[in-house]
Amino acid sequence: MTIRTRNLLGMALLGWLGLVAPRLAADDAEGSAFVIADGKLTMSAPKGWVRKQPSVRIIEHEFAAPKAEGDDADGRFTVMAAGGSIEANIDRWIGQFSQPDGSSTKEKTRQEQLTVGKNKIQVVDISGSYKDQRGPMTPAVTREDYRMLGAIISTENSGLIFLKFYGPKKTIAANEKGFQEMLKSIKAK
């Protein structure tokens, strides 16, 4: 590489940093905006949530929410478009949980429906022992005292978008308001 090429690359990098660094600082102060639904919708992750490289290719976006004091893990938030009906996916999520006393997880699951703009959102709140399987070929690990806030966005033109936020109960409780605000931040592009 010639000195001239190195200098040009260096100037390009500095220019990129000059454009990107202020945006990264703005993301940190306001939360990180991202696009979903084939680029038709935007939403903003809460301030303090850290963008992660998705652990499997089917996941479009992944964030870590800060763990609560005394918890040993951050919350994990994922976004993906997938197949199946709303009911089938909620039943699958419920099936990932069991209750220590053997009672019905389905009966303890809370559900509500929201409308944000033209989008209907089915929200579920599930707690118990969670079978955490982070990929189709990885073994599941049972995690006690976990909670999941899940949301299925029924978009006008892009099908269903699945949001899954789970982790230790205290961590999810500490970040629940941010999750709810993120759902309300959905906007058409």
Burial per residue of 91-100, b for 16 or more beta-carbon CB atoms within 10 angstroms, e otherwise: eebbebbbee
Question: Is the distance from CB of 151 to CB of 122 less than 8 angstroms?
Answer: yes
Q: Along the 189 residues of the chain, how does pLDDT read in single tens digits?
A: 544 444 444 444 444 444 433 333 334 445 689 999 889 899 999 999 999 999 888 999 999 999 999 999 999 999 999 889 999 999 999 999 999 999 999 999 999 999 998 899 999 999 999 999 877 788 999 999 999 999 999 987 888 999 999 999 999 999 999 999 999 999 988
Residue 28 is predicted with a pLDDT of: 42
Beta-strand (E) ranges in the chain? 33-36, 41-44, 50-52, 61-65, 75-81, 97-98, 110-116, 119-132, 141-154, 160-168, 187-188
Phi, psi of 104 (to 5 degrees): -80, 120
pLDDT at 32 (0 to 100)? 85
- 0.85 cut: is pTM over it? no
Q: In the chain, what are the domain boundaries?
A: 1-30, 31-188
The predicted pLDDT at position 19 comes to: 40
pLDDT at position 30, please? 54
Q: Which two tokens stand for residue 179?
A: 């999750």
Taking alpha carbons only, the member of 105, 184, 120, 188 closest to residue 152 is: 120
Contact 63, 70 (CB under 8 A): no
- Locus of tokens 């009672």: 103
* Cα 46 from Cα 31, distance rounded (Å): 5
Q: Which fold has domain 31-188?
A: Protein Transport Mog1p; Chain A (3.40.1000)
